[in-house]
Structure 1
Amino acid sequence: MVPAPPCGPVGAPPQGAGHRRRRGVDRTEKREFVASLAAVFAETSFVLVAQNKGLTVADVSELRRRMRAAGATYKVAKNRLATLALEGTRFDGVKPLLKGPTALAWSTDPVAVAKTAVEFAKTNDKFVVLGGALGTQTLSADGVKALAELPSLETLRAQLLGLIQTPATRIAGILQAPGGQVARVLSAYAKKDEAQAA
């Protein structure tokens, strides 16, 4: 008896091969995601953990736009993958917060991230700040709110620059005053000499 031809088009890979290939791609993507997240955790000083309880696509887009404007990154991450990425980093303390639909946000300016997240949470009850970590220090939701009330890094830089420039302006003013006086004195002597010569 002649065996029946295989199902599917001629030359098609055996059934299940596409599924195995997709699974291999998924694993590779997951490994790359964990590696990229771990690299972020190695470079940043603050990570915020929030819960996304059914934000609409428009809400998430608005939150991402605000985070970008503040110089921050916002990512929804699978808790298992985020836990793997956190392993062995100084942010290990936030792992217990990774329950349910969570998202992570980070930036070089911790205040900017905290401020943006807290302000967004005030207007959208589906977004809840759970906590975060500033270096090795784990913060509760109240800790993140306290951080949000501090002046941002940009504001502190402007204030510091103002402090540095103020004395310089005063010094320049003081130095210019005697110079002006010397110029007036020399001008008066020159006029006096012209008057005597005439």
Structure 2
Amino acid sequence: MPSTVVLEKKKQQVAELADRLKGSCAGVVVDYKGINVEDDTKLRKELREAGVVYTVVKNSVLKRAAENVGLEIDSTVVEGTTAVATSESDYVAAARILNKYAETNNNFTIKTGYLDGKVIANEEVVALAKLPSREALLAQIASVVVEPIACIARAVNALEEKGGAQAVAQEAPAEAPAEEATEAPAEESAE
């Protein structure tokens, strides 16, 4: 029978992980077996720099914490070695970094993930990882917004180089008056 101290410690771990899951917009659960210390250190550093919190967790703690926040995870997720990466503001960072690592290390696999309180399959985590970063998406949106303004500026600049709107108006041909019909109507024969 576990002591009350051990039970209290586990309850605290469950509550802390549940708060972390609830406070994050996205997360990824991985099986980290086969990772050496050097690679683990590099991976943790990259995740930390991206604002992702990465911790190894006991399967029972993950299962209870997920239940507490309403995430229904498959029983296969809480088997083997398990680590959780969560991000409070970046939907893509954890998935991108962990997927990149999983592609180069056969023993390291993505189990599942979640977005805004909904569990997603590992295939969806991989698809999420392929999305550009938030900064890249904002740059793309900015270029779409700025392009029409840049076109107008280039057109105005071209007009200015030609001597302004008056020079362009002088170069344009005047409209020719509509030609009048010159043929007379055919006479009807009276036979």
Answer yes or no: same fold by TM over 0.5: yes
Structure 2 residue 108 is matched with structure 1 residue 127: yes
Equivalent residue in structure 2 for 1:104, among 60, 76, 84: 84
Displacement after TM superposition at 1:164 (Å): 2.1
**TM-score if structure 2 supplies the norm length?**
0.70
Deviations 1:111-164 (A, max 9, x none): 221111111012222311112222354332222222222222221111112222
**TM-score if structure 1 supplies the norm length?**
0.67
- Taking the TM superposition and a 5 Å limit, the aligned residue runs for 1:63-78 are 63-78=43-58
What corresponds to 2:129 in structure 1?
148
Judging by fraction of residues, say which structure has more helix. Answer: 1
Residue identity in the other structure for 2:149:
A
SS of the equivalent of 1:97 reads coil
SS of the equivalent of 2:114 reads strand
What corresponds to 2:94 in structure 1?
113
CA–CA distance in 1 between the matches of 2:120 and 2:104? 22
CA–CA distance in 2 between the matches of 1:35 and 1:144? 25
Residue identity in the other structure for 2:123:
D
Shift of the 174–97 alpha-carbon distance from structure 1 to 2, 3 Å rule, reads same
CA–CA distance in 2 between the matches of 1:130 and 1:31? 24
Equivalent residue in structure 2 for 1:84, among 64, 74, 85: 64
CA–CA distance in 2 between the matches of 1:96 and 1:47? 17
Structure 2 contact 27–95 (Cα < 8 Å) conserved? no
Equivalent residue in structure 1 for 2:29, among 39, 42, 49: 49
Deviations 1:4-63 (A, max 9, x none): xxxxxxxxxxxxxxxx7xx63x54443333222212211222221110213222222111
Corresponding residue pairs, total: 163
Displacement after TM superposition at 1:104 (Å): 0.8
Percent of aligned positions with the same letter in both sequences? 31
What corresponds to 2:182 in structure 1?
none
CA–CA distance in 2 between the matches of 1:171 and 1:95? 58
What corresponds to 2:185 in structure 1?
none
* Higher CA-based Rg: 2
Structure 2 residue 164 is matched with structure 1 residue 164: no
CA–CA distance in 2 between the matches of 1:161 and 1:28? 51
CA–CA distance in 1 between the matches of 2:155 and 2:146? 14
What corresponds to 1:192 in structure 2?
none
Deviations 1:66-111 (A, max 9, x none): 2123332211111111112111424323564111111111223232
CA–CA distance in 2 between the matches of 1:106 and 1:172? 44
Displacement after TM superposition at 1:176 (Å): 6.0
Q: Which residues of structure 2 form unaligned runs of 5+?
A: 168-191
